[in-house]
Amino acid sequence: MPLEANVDIDGDGDIDPGAMEIWAVDFIIDQYDDDCSGPISYSINRVGETPNRDSTGIVFTCDDGSEVEVEIYVWDNADNPYQEQPEWNCRRPQLRPMSHLYSFEHE
């Protein structure tokens, strides 16, 4: 997306000529129905960053290069990131997300 002049959209101190936003729900094909504790939500982060339930979208700039690996988490109402768990014990978080390599071209 084009940006207004002199905008630092990612907060790194550099002016960004362009940026792209993606959302965790962009990667969801089928929503998980058998949740453990109430409604579910999705989050997204770069690989290596700490997962955060409130991180539902991410901004990429030209500084990110052409490929960025992201992780998608599914969270239940008890703040557990979803992963199939032994005996369906939903009180123990499992931090193994779906990961996806996101590629884009700069114009």
| 3-state DSSP assignment of residue 69 | strand
Q: Per-residue pLDDT tens for 51-105? A: 888 999 998 888 887 788 888 888 877 766 654 444 444 444 444 455 555 555 5
Listed residue (107, 70, 77) closest to 91, CA to CA: 77
27 contact partners, CB below 8 Å, separation of at least 6: 44, 72, 98, 100
The count of domains in the chain is: 1
Residue range of the domain that includes 14 = 2-84+92-103
Q: Are 41 and 73 in contact (CB under 8 A)?
A: no
Q: What is the pLDDT of residue 47?
A: 84
